[in-house]
Structure 1
Amino acid sequence: MDEVVFDFEWTGQIARFNVTGQFSYDQNQTYTDGIVREEDLLGFDISFFAPDGTLLRTYEDNHLTFPEFNFAYDTNTGEILQDGAFMGEEGFNVGEKTPVGDGTFTGLSFFSRPELNPQGEVPPPHLHIDDWSDEFGFPLGFSTHEDVAFFTRTTQQLLDTGRMGEAYIDDVQDSLDEFGERIQVSFVDDSFIPVFGSLGGDTIEVDGGNQLVFGGAEDDLIDASLTSETGNRIYGQSGDDTLILGTGDRALGGDGDDRFFVLSDGDNLITGGAGMDQFWIATAEIPEEINTITDFTSGEDVIGLAGLGIGFADLSITQQDADTLIALGNDELAKLLGINAGSLSAADFAFAASL
């Protein structure tokens, strides 16, 4: 089987919840009837997260190969239905596109898009969510209740591979620029290996790369610094968690007062989630690559540095477009997304001789 696997994470379009997972397809497989579209779809894995970062449910190896398939999550009962019957106001539906009248649809669709884009390139395969039933309640659509595509890294690629002349034209360019990169999709060599914590406090050592790690319900310690491999996705979930990061990982603390410790490698994407979080961006060593913090909140969260013998006056804090860059001399330590450099003060930082 000539299988292509993507991992995707959707965080940029709406702040109320996060969607992350994988999907894959066989380039040699073609379905002849009862299909989404007569091209290449094998299946995908998808996980649903509540606004506080709590994992609601994960589905593995879903096949969108016939119109009857659908699954929905009922936000009142917590029940997930497989038959696509649930279409009420209290939940959302993701599955094969479902007609809702007037030629519009709701659901999840797959298109491999063999057509060339205006640059003469073959666009990457991508998923679409349509929400004409307003089940997701998107606050921003490319047009009202229009689709969101899991396929692009940049605004320009979105414009290049989208429906040119319809939804992605000049009148929405300002909105696209404002929200920046929505979906980051990358090829991965192996499927994520899921690791789950228990209902109690856990100590989880991440061994290898491309792992999907979920902490338990209480205070967890998750250590991803023991491996030199990259591409891990780490979710602390609820509780006051401690996450020790390696290199090239993405970490979400979730609900609780979480602590993140960056070691020597860096190049991590860190989201604290709800609570008063601590981001220790340098601990005894200067990271080789800059780390990015997506949701720093001044007056609530804190930036920490330990074992360097420095103070606030030694740092360089500068504006870089819409973000703030924190550096020590010529070494870039961290980027705070969406933060005005002038809003930061010594009260937002903590310094320690050691940890």
Structure 2
Amino acid sequence: MHSNKQIRLGIIGMGKVTVQRHIPSISSINNPHVQLLAVADAKPGLAAKIAEDLTIPYAFEDYKQLLAMDEINAVSICTPTFTHATIAIDALQAGKHVYLEKPATMNETEMREVMKAAKESGKVFIVGSNGMLQNQMLMFKRMIDNNELGEVFNVSITRSYPRSADSSKRKTIGGDGISMESASHNVEWALFFLGDPKPVSVTGVGYYKYDNISIPLEQREADEVDDCSLALIQFDNGSSFMYKAMRSAAAPAEYEVSIQGDMGLIKYDVNKCYKEQSDDCIRIYTQHEAGHLSETRPLISCGKTHAAMYKHFFECIAEGKESYISNGERSVVVMKVLDALKLSMKNKGKQILLD
């Protein structure tokens, strides 16, 4: 940071991800100008216990009490997705800088409302786009921009998770299922790598597979959400994004990214990178003029996903600048795509054309 501006942070939402990832990431930055001053969670006693355990000065059950603190000038919102828009707008209108965890909102309309509040507030607003500032992601982007892969025409991402808690199965708790939770990150990655093309069509199918029963998404109960999502997004420049995510597949955990150009291919194993197996997490294939294919495995320190984004957030506040990587504008496009994906899934994979 180039400023001595004190950042007094409050975190709203004390779930597992907050405690295991967000708070340790903030601490790891070790910035003397950043203080975690308060936490809030609607669950009785939870924020108070965490505050006591971590020696955080203030704890609240009502997030509005946290926002009312004049000492707090920045907040991180880590609550369930369906609460994001309301809390983010309240925080911006209270004059706080805002870090908003993904999925940013439930739909495009909410995202536009949050963006309107952000612009009117004049405060720093960042969507927590995990991974976007990691070393390997920036390296891939440089390679693409330097034409090292030739014309990049497709990004493909496959993710699978072990069975998880019941919270993911209900819209009122888990948002809109795996199609929202996972694709909100990965559609943004695709847009980033492809140069922010305009999406023109979305086709997707979704299922939920609880208790080994496979039921098409259009036949689900009103409050159930998908745990298997497959999608194809096409863009105005002819490029495309293919995506598959499964929460309860009978398969090992998997998270693989492929970036395909007409002269090269990047294959990125995200899970291996997170486990710091840096000698085998990235493979780059390039086609030479002589016709032969070469493979390289770059050694790179991947870094921590949340820490890099929080560091960027704090720098933007200290320097009074807008985020160049995740200021919310791309999230409007992401939510537009996800709205179309949900509509396609509800209509048996019908292709949805976008304006």
Normalising to structure 1: TM-score of the pair? 0.25
- Higher strand content, 1 or 2: 1
- Higher relative contact order (CA closer than 8 Å, sequence separation 6+): 2
